[in-house]
Each structure stands twice: as structure tokens, then as C-alpha cells.
Amino acid sequence: MGLRTTLGSYVFAEEKEIRNARAIQQVVDAKVIVLATSNMTFCGHKLPNRQTFKALYSPLLRTPLRSPLHYHFRLTSTRAIQVPFSGPPTYDTVARRFSSYPNPLAFYAQKRQEDARDRGEFVDIHDIGGIDPKDFDVLITDIDEEKLRSEIAEVMGIQFLAKATEEDANTVVEIGHGYIFGRNVRTIFPCVVSHDGKAHWVFFIVDSGAPLTYLSVQTSELFGIMEDQPTPVKLAGYRHSVYMSPKNSHFANVNILGMDFCNVNEVRPWHDYKNRKDGMGKFMAENDLDLIVSSSDSSLVSFAAYAGWPSGTVPLGQLKTSLPYGLFVLARAGEDEKIFQFMSAFEKTFEKIGLPVLRDF
């Protein structure tokens, strides 16, 4: 059995001649899948002894209606008040509490109003004032206008602030697609923003801490949006008011999709941190792989850098092959130990691996 890469086939000696059979078997028994492209071939490895966690949170799937204690009541001097489910501090309790009636959010909001009323305090259920757009600030050091123009635009396949068609400007997006950028795992969402007869593609950073939606200074000036006042635009096909990022803020050069847009339009964000919505991550997920091994450092090093995934190099110089580089190994974020596992097993096979037989794929 051999290990195929773009370098060729490494031929293992017969098993009875191998000194450390256990280490060899880690490599030999690896699930090997070769992805051939026009200029390179990736070899993915599924390491053995992979743990599964299917039933880890199975108790959360139980319906709370099975429990006779689902409905709880609190007795007062005049009436019985239905309260949210309560129990020991467990994941099951949290799941049942938020699926019980009444919902704890609504229950305690009403309770605070009633308590204030009982104390004789004035309770105004109406909104007595909006959010000042200058009250929010966030320091974003890994993304600026240059990154939006270059790296992010390159991944999206759309030029920075490119003009959009009228059809795209009027399309109401029901399922939007983006990707996760860099070591700081920023969620990038591209969509069309239109205002006053202009329509352009805008790259937003989705920020769960931002109460409002902001357009960068440059984007705002492109649409004729003034500072310190809300401006109604069409964003991903939805009518919504946006603000210019304050010029003296730390995010003046980026676009922020805030929680006001998500709340009003009942958006359900879904983040695929495992696959990061990229081609290599998708390939690894579809084939249930732990590692990607390539003979070309440059083909994966830029991806590892922007994705924040761990990587390593197996030096083939120890094979006495006169090759100037080694095998580049890439694993998913947080799975550094799998690189060391592979490299350790691979290194122990050096004495019994034959010279590479170069093949033209």
C-alpha cells in the first residue's frame, strides 16, 4: 500500500520488515482521498480513532411535555401565577425552560413592570428615545478598506463596491451566503445596497454587538448618506435605515451589519465554523477528512494564514531525495494535535519508505 501525493507514491516495505508496525499502521490505514485539479493534487487523510459525540446532548432532544412537572405555578395570596420551568443547573433544564410556557423573557419583563407599578413608579411601555449612533464603537484591526478591496473581494469574486444590476437590487434575499474571515473569525456577508438610484455590492461585517447598521465613510459618501442621521436604503432587498460610521470611530472604514437589521427582519444567522464556507473546508467535510497534505507549500499557506488553521511541514530532505521542500500538512482550526500525530507517525516510517516514484497527474 502506498501514500499518493503530487510527488508520487511512497512504497512501504512489507509489514513483517517494519520495526514499528503500530506507527506505520497509523499512516497506512489512513483514509486517503486524492483531489485532482488542473495544477495540483490534494491528498486528504482520515486519522484513526476519531471520537464521535452523537449522543452528547441527546437529553436536550427530549420534549418537556413528557414531564408532568412541565407546568409550574407560584401561589400568591390572591391567585396562582404560571411561571417558567425550573430545575437543577443542567443543559436539560435550560432547554426545557426556554421551551416552556410562559417564556422566561416575557415573564420577567412583565414581572418587572408589575413590580415597578406596585411601588408606584411610572411605567412607559413606549420607546421614549432611539439609540445614538455615536454610542457604539468597536476596534477592528484586522479589516480595513485595503483588505476589503483585495483579499475579501478576491474571495467573494466581486469587486469592492461593484455596481449591481437592478434585478439584484430588487431581489429579496431569503438565504444569504458569506464566509468566515481570518484569525479573528469575522463573519463577512456580501449583499446589494441601493439608494437614490444607485446600487452597489457592499461587504458587511456581521457584529452581534452592534445595535445599528453602519456604512463606512467611503460607502456612505458614494450613496450620498450624511453623518448623524438615519437614511432609508434597500439592503439585500429589505427596507432598512442605516447610518454613516462615525468618522472619529474605530470602524470608520468598514461596514457593520447590526442586530437592528437581524431583529426587524427576523434573521436566523447560521455560522459553519467547522467548514468556514471555503472550498478546502467543504472538501474535508464532504469526505470526512482530518488533514490535507500537499506537495506545494504556496498552494495552502495563504489559505492557512487567512483561515487561521494550523499547518506544518514534513521535511522530505530526510528521505535523501534532493527535493528542496517538504509535504505541507493542513488541519482544521483547533486540531493542531492531529498534525503532530501524523508527522510523528510519518517520521517513524522514513527508514522503510522507498524513494518517491514521480508521476505526472
Q: Which residues of 280-289 are buried (b: 16+ CB within 10 A; e: fewer)?
A: bbebbeeeeb
- Is the pLDDT at 348 greater than 70, yes or no? no
- pLDDT for res 124: 56
Same domain, 27 and 142: no
Mean pLDDT of 260-289: 71
Same domain, 149 and 223: yes
Domain-located, residue 221: yes
What pLDDT digit, counting tens, does each position of 94-148 carry? 778 877 777 887 888 788 888 888 888 765 555 445 677 888 888 888 898 889 9
Percent of the chain's residues with pLDDT above 70: 56
Cβ proximity of 329 and 346 under 8 Å:
no
Domain-located, residue 242: yes
- pLDDT for res 60: 35
- pLDDT for res 329: 76
Same domain, 137 and 259: yes
Same domain, 162 and 237: yes
160: nearest Cα among 174, 170, 150: 150
CA 337 to chain centre: 21
- pLDDT for res 243: 95
- pLDDT for res 24: 38
Q: How confident is the model at residue 295 (pLDDT cuts 50, 70, 90)?
A: low
Domain-located, residue 284: no
Same domain, 67 and 30: no
Same domain, 229 and 332: no
Same domain, 87 and 22: no
- Is the pLDDT at 359 greater than 60, yes or no? no
Q: Which of 12-21, 207-216, 240-249, 291-300 has the lowest mean pLDDT?
A: 12-21
Percent of the chain's residues with pLDDT above 90: 22
Helix ranges (DSSP H) in 287-332: 297-307
Domain-located, residue 80: yes
DSSP structure class, residue 246 = P
- pLDDT for res 142: 87
Mean pLDDT of 183-205: 92
- pLDDT for res 111: 82
Same domain, 81 and 139: no
Same domain, 143 and 247: yes
Same domain, 206 and 227: yes
Domain-located, residue 272: no
- pLDDT for res 232: 95
- Is the pLDDT at 195 greater than 50, yes or no? yes
- pLDDT for res 15: 38
Mean pLDDT of 278-296: 64
Q: How confident is the model at residue 283 (pLDDT cuts 50, 70, 90)?
A: low
Number of domains, the chain? 3
Same domain, 179 and 252: yes
Residues composing the chain: 361
Domain ranges, residue 220 = 133-264
- pLDDT for res 167: 92
- pLDDT for res 315: 57
User: Which is more confident, 297 or 27?
Assistant: 297
Domain-located, residue 269: no
Q: How confident is the model at residue 309 (pLDDT cuts 50, 70, 90)?
A: low
Domain-located, residue 275: no
Cβ proximity of 254 and 202 under 8 Å:
no
- Is the pLDDT at 178 greater than 80, yes or no? yes
DSSP structure class, residue 148 = I
Q: How confident is the model at residue 26 (pLDDT cuts 50, 70, 90)?
A: very low
Global pTM value: 0.50
What pLDDT digit, counting tens, does each position of 224-247 carry? 999 888 999 999 999 999 999 999
Mean pLDDT of the chain: 69
Please state, as a whole number, how many other Cβ atoms lie within 10 Å of the Cβ of residue 104.
15
Q: Which of 91-105, 275-289, 301-315, 347-361 has the lowest mean pLDDT?
A: 347-361
Domain-located, residue 358: no
Mean pLDDT of 36-49: 38
CATH of the domain at 149: 2.40.70
Instruction: Tell whether the torsion through CA atoms of 339, 340, 342 and 348 is positive or negative.
Output: positive
**81-89: long-range pairs with CB below 8 Å, 24+:** 83/107
User: In the numeric block, which cell numbers belong to residue 69?
Assistant: 412537572
Same domain, 171 and 101: no
User: Which is more confident, 290 or 192?
Assistant: 192
